[in-house]
Structure 1
Amino acid sequence: MGKKIQFSLIYRDMWQSSGKFQPRKDQLVRIAPIFIEMGCFARVETNGGAFEQVNLLAGENPNDSVRAYCEILHKAGIKTHMLDRGLNALRMYPVPDDVRAMMYRVKHAQGVDIPRIFDGLNDIRNIAPSIKWAKEAGMTPQGTLCITTSPVHTLEYYSKLADEEIAAGAEEICLKDMAGIGQPAFLGQLTKMIKDKHPDIILEYHGHSGPGLSMASMLEVAKNGIDILDVAIEPLSWGKVHPDVISVQSMLKNAGFDVPEINMDAYMKARALTQEFIDEWLGYFINPQNKIMSSLLLDCGLPGGMMGSMMADLGGIRASINNLRKKKGEEELSVDDMLVKLFDEVAYVWPRIGYPPLVTPFSQYTKNIALMNLLTIEQGKGRFVMMDDSMWGMILGRSGKVPGEICQELKELAAQKGLQFTDADPHTLLPNALDDFRKEMDENRWEYGQDEEELFELAMHPEQYRNYKSGQAKKNFLADLQAAKDAKLGAKISPEEATAFKHAKADAIVAPVKGQIFWEFQGDGEISPAIEPYIGKEYKESDTFCYILSPWGEFVDIPANLGGKLVEINAKQGSKINKGDVIAYIERPHEA
């Protein structure tokens, strides 16, 4: 019998790569025993990046879900693991040290065994502290290599990073092929290099199906010493998600590997129950495009999980570009034309911003730079004209060191803007924050929860947690669900239904001119990455709420009035509005 290979079910990532929300606690508790009954999983991914945030947005307590889910799996001897974004922990922007360190204590107490610690730039400075804190909390830290294909991402580059993570205390290494563009032969060679040098280190492979290489990659890494493979189950496998465990098991078994048997009766139960979750409510937030594989992903390297939001963003930019082209008497561009232009522009931008691995949040930043370039080129303004603080933060080194070199054009543009590059350790730029959050908990008389897990949720996701505690999150979610159901049924939503859950004491953000809506390019989470704001987002009086592209081609800043909390959005990215239309409603801060 050949080498033994285990399977890890990435149920959280299956939903993350398909749609907006995760199953509820009661659903996870129902399906966990069936995963056990399947008999083929040594591990299950239970939570991590975006899981907790989207639970809060649905008005659910993620701590209850994680505890209940992990307890069932632990009793059967199945290990649990979570996704951890290093410097960004469980969110899209950097997290202070004291909150990050607390996360491992809380998650271990809740029953999570293994944090998969990755950094979107593969910067060891963002990974090593998390490895240390995870070990101190009693967890098994898994270091991660974010796989991509570029001139700077060589075998030696990744082998060195694996050495650094193991030296920092990582007990396992994951090859995270988040876009599925890792070349099979390369991944096989990398697996062998690491295993030959570190034979006792457990290696796990995580590869998305998007461009279709993942099955070949799984066979190659298996031949070269991989220990664990991340797999999915129907009805969410394949597409932009992951290969199905049945196909992976069959392939490896035929190749002579020692793989676990699958209880097919239990598989069919899990398949049916997952479909039930989809039919009940989760399916209303699944983008159909994420069920389709595409070889076009190979050249641009964008991860499959963001393709749905990318297509929505592309539609808005296409409308603006075609409006400009029409005025110039030029032929309008089709969606396919725009898609090719975007992929070509990503290929142009990516090397010039230093080849950041295209994973959250840097995939969103890179895509947004390319989208805005297409628009500003059409306007005759050239490239790199519209970039926000998040995009510049990546370029300037505030989030870590990019693997390659920033081009001279961007260096000169930064100097013109008075922006400074930094090589400071990113986590040293953030002051500790727990004391302020403790004060807020005390002032609101909120319970800290078991092992201070409620304090952790506030500190990790402050805006979403406050919205959850007020009950507004649940109201917003129910309104979104009803609207999604009505839209799917083709029903016309009345004004009364559309405003049923709008906060009574809110100010309308009114369009001062006719034009087209564009949002700020900084989101908080994977729900609509880096473009469209989320319900519950808070604004200051001085903030810009959005931009309107006027008929004469200029962007008009729309202020957030007196500031406050966003409670309703009435316009989408790229949608056309008239002067006097209500764009959104913001709950005034003095009545929050």
Structure 2
Amino acid sequence: ELKKAMPKTPLQMLLRGQNLLGYRHYADDVVERFVERAVKNGMDVFRVFDAMNDPRNMKAALQAVRSHGAHAQGTLSYTTSPAHTLQTWLDLTEQLLETGVDSIAIKDMSGILTPMAAFELVSEIKKRYDVRLHLHCHATTGMAEMALLKAIEAGVDGVDTAISSMSATYGHPATEALVATLAGTEHDTGLDILKLENIAAYFREVRKKYHAFEGQLKGYDSRILVAQVPGGMLTNLESQLKQQNAADKLDQVLAEIPRVREDLGFIPLVTPTSQIVGTQAVLNVLTGERYKTIAKETAGILKGEYGHTPVPVNAALQARVLEGGAPVTCRPADLLKPELAELEADVRRQAQEKGIQLAGNAIDDVLTVALFPQIGLKFLENRHNPAAFEPLPQAEAAQPVTKAEKPAASGIYTVEVEGKAFVVKVSDGGDISQLTAAAPAASSAPATAPAGAGTPVTAPLAGNIWKVIATEGQTVAEGDVLLILEAMKMETEIRAAQAGTVRGIAVKSGDAV
């Protein structure tokens, strides 16, 4: 639909290399088919990156993009650490050029690229390589405008900005500000600032509709210079900590993130590694013990399942998750068998069982479920049922609400949404300040074990049961996986704290805990 509305405007997307849009590596046949369908559906430019900056993980996607006639942009996911030097970025640039790209992007997802570093990096790349170079900076720390200007002085070919009414904080520098800055210079953009103001006015009204989804940041956040948290990750952390009733722990989590990142080999913080490091930091803080619980994805990085890390990972943690095995040293996707046919058969089977009518181009539905297994299937089940989705945001929701003569009574309430109970704390005037999953009602939940009957297993985080592994009556050893909890977009294995027998199971797949 976007392409129909803007047939002459190139559309661009981010593509996480071998991860595509998901959180795991997909086989090459899935990568190839996804790119083919994306190009067919109107995508023109693919900014391909890898969270580990491992060029092996970008190769299949870049080659697929070029083979289907689209623009392949290789990406340097910028970060700083004792392991990252100017030579690091020059080497990666050369490797991407050898793979075959149409342009290179420097992706500063955390806003930590200083103006002088931007000038040096752009200058050195342009001096050595004949390649179109693009710069993408987030405004979180307040340096982005200066970094863009110095990069322009150094010869960068393009920069990312956002219309002013949707700019700054977690986003990008304002387009109008840069247009005005460059007006009358050799870098004059030629853009009409009055026309840009019309666009800004339109999106100023659109933004009001999404007021409830905005993060807490009102200006700049210097903590990010240390924690290196990308804008999207910061809003996600704020949201997830609220769900855990732990919003007051944000500073502790931000302090823990650099420590986790070092343990994982100073990996860049960009999707999905930003979520992985962030989730592990939250686990370390909320459980009160570092690595008491190791998320499945954290273990994957330690095992080498995501590719090369800039420096070796923490040896003790790696040995713990390998359990005597060997780490992955090849391109991780080389270990994956073709999986598209199996995925397609599985989606068609589920569609038949659930009475789902697949789209005319069924492969698009197959890829949707492959990349988003739970959410994708739920979408297919309900795409013709508007009532199943949250209503469109309304602009008036962002306006100050006039107090009613009889304000809502403050207190704690239990509400039910889609069959799940939540505890809601309502303040004077009706503002909701807290929202957590409630304990299942006694009438519908299995009875808890009586005192002395055993040791209860509790969830370290609020989330949903992804899969129950153990069975009632099963004998387990200390450390055995009992179930898998999905929390903060990650899978966390809940293990037995001691040897014993499973006396009872009070949850099932899909339950909120």
**TM-score tier after normalising by the smaller chain length:** 0.7 to 0.9
Following TM superposition, by how much is the alpha carbon of 1:383 offset from its aligned partner in structure 2, in angstroms? Answer: 2.7
- 1:270 aligned onto 2:199: yes
Q: Which residue of 2 aligns with 1:38?
A: none
Which residue of structure 2 lines up, in the alignment, with residue 14 of structure 1?
none
Contact 2:47 2:74 in 1 (8 A): yes
1:120 aligns with 51
Q: Which amino acid aligns with 2:461?
A: W
Counterpart code for 2:416: T
In the TM superposition, what are the counterparts of 1:211-226 in structure 2 within 5 Å?
211-226=141-156
Partner of 2:369: 458
Q: Displacement, 1:173?
A: 0.3
Output aligned runs, 1:283-294, within 5 Å: 283-284=211-212, 286-294=213-221
Aligned to 2:281, which of 334, 353, 370? 370
* Structure 1 residue 558 displacement after superposition: 10
Work out which of the residue numbers 407, 410, 416 in structure 2 matches 1:499: 416
- Counterpart-to-counterpart distance in 2, 1:546 and 1:361: 15
- Of residues 273, 281, 305, the one that matches 1:398 is 305
One-letter code aligned to 1:499? E
The CA deviation string for residues 565-586 of structure 1, in whole angstroms up to 9 with x for no partner, is 56xx5xxxxxxxxxxxxx4xxx
Q: Secondary structure at the match of 1:107?
A: helix
Q: Displacement of 1:538 after TM fit?
A: 5.6
Asked if 1:192 is matched to 2:123, the reply is yes
The alpha carbon displacement at 1:438 in A equals 2.8
Give me the whole-angstrom Cα distance separating, in 1, the residues matched to 2:83 and 2:256: 19
1:175 aligned counterpart, secondary structure:
strand
CA distance in 2, matches of 1:367, 1:545: 16
Inter-partner Cα distance in structure 1 for 2:460 and 2:80: 32
Deviations 1:207-254 (A, max 9, x none): 000011111110111111111111101322001110000111122336
Question: 1:436 deviation in Å?
Answer: 2.4
- State the distance in 2 between where 1:486 and 1:221 align: 37
Equivalents in 1 of 2:39, 2:291: separation in Å?
43
1:308 aligns with 2:239: no
Structure 1 window deviating more from structure 2 (400-409 vs 137-146): it is 400-409
Please state which structure has a larger fraction of its residues in helix.
1
**Separation in 2 of the partners of 1:88 and 1:262?**
39
For 2:3, the equivalent position in structure 1 comes to: 70
Confirm or deny that 1:435 pairs with 2:352. no
Distance in 1 separating the partners of 2:412 and 2:245: 29
Please tell me whether the aligned partners of residues 466 and 484 of structure 2 are also in contact (alpha carbons under 8 angstroms): no
Aligned residue identity for 1:470: E
Return the match for 1:253 from 180, 183, 203: 183
Deviations 1:328-382 (A, max 9, x none): xxxxxx94xx544433322333223210001111112222333333345x4xxx5
- Aligned runs of 1:4-403 on 2, under 5 Å? 68-75=1-8, 78-199=9-130, 201-253=131-183, 256-264=186-194, 266-280=195-209, 282-284=210-212, 286-314=213-241, 335=248, 338-376=249-287, 378=288, 382-403=289-310
Superposition TM-score, scaled by structure 1 size: 0.67
Equivalent pairs: percent with the same residue?
24
Q: Which amino acid aligns with 1:478?
A: E
**Contact map agreement 1:317 1:371 (CA 8 A) in 2:** no
| Contact 1:517/1:546 (<8 A) preserved | no
Larger radius of gyration: 2
* Structure-2 change in CA distance of 1:95 and 1:412 (3 Å): closer
1:496 shift after superposition: 12
Looking at structure 2, the residues matched to 509 and 271 of structure 1 have their Cα atoms a distance apart, in angstroms, of 51
The amino acid that maps onto 1:477 is F
Select 1:477's aligned residue among 389, 393, 396. Answer: 389
Q: Aligned-pair distance for 1:74?
A: 2.7
Q: Distance in 2 between matches of 1:230 and 1:442?
A: 40
- Inter-partner Cα distance in structure 1 for 2:505 and 2:399: 30
Q: Say if 2:283 and 2:461, in contact at 8 Å, map to a contact too.
A: no
Residue 132 (structure 1) shift: 0.7
Q: CA deviation at 1:307?
A: 1.3
How far the C-alpha of 1:471 sits from its partner, in A, is 1.4
Cα distance in 1 between the residues matched to 2:382 and 2:418: 11
CA contact (8 A) 1:240 1:292 kept: no
**Distance in 1 of aligned mates of 2:410 and 2:324:** 49
Post-superposition CA distance 1:422-454 (Å, at most 9, x none): 212111233322212332454436445349433
Q: CA deviation at 1:177?
A: 0.2
Q: For structure 1, which runs of at least 5 residues remain unmatched after alignment?
A: 1-67, 320-333, 521-531, 548-553, 570-582, 584-592
* Runs of 5+ consecutive residues of structure 2 not aligned to the other structure: 402-406, 421-440, 450-455, 471-482, 488-496
Q: What's the CA shift for 1:267?
A: 2.8
- Report the 3-state secondary structure (helix = DSSP H, G, I; strand = E; otherwise coil) of the residue aligned with 2:166: coil
Q: Secondary structure at the match of 2:148?
A: helix
Residues paired across the two proteins, number: 451
Using the size of structure 2 for normalisation, the TM-score is: 0.77
SS in 2 for 1:188: helix
Which residue does the alignment assign to 1:15? none
Bigger RCO of structures 1 and 2 (CA < 8 A, at least 6 apart): 1
Contact 1:540 1:560 in 2 (8 A): no
Q: Say whether the 8 Å CA contact 1:486–1:492 is kept in structure 2.
A: no
Is the Cα contact below 8 Å between 2:54 and 2:308 reproduced in 1?
A: yes
Rounded to whole Å, the distance in 2 between the matches of 1:395 and 1:387 is: 10
Deviation digits for residues 139-194 of structure 1, max 9, x if unmatched? 11000000011121211111111111111111100000000112221222111222
Contact 2:31 2:61 survives alignment (8 Å): yes
Counterpart AA for 1:207: C
The 3-state SS of whatever aligns with 1:231 is coil
Q: Structure 2: how far apart are the matches of 1:546 and 1:460?
A: 16
Q: CA deviation at 1:474?
A: 5.0
Say whether the 8 Å CA contact 2:276–2:298 is kept in structure 1. Answer: yes
C-alpha change, 1:365 and 1:230, in structure 2 (3 Å) is same
Q: Secondary structure at the match of 2:127?
A: helix
User: 1:354 and 1:557 mapped to 2: Cα distance?
Assistant: 41
Report SS of the residue matched to 2:159.
strand
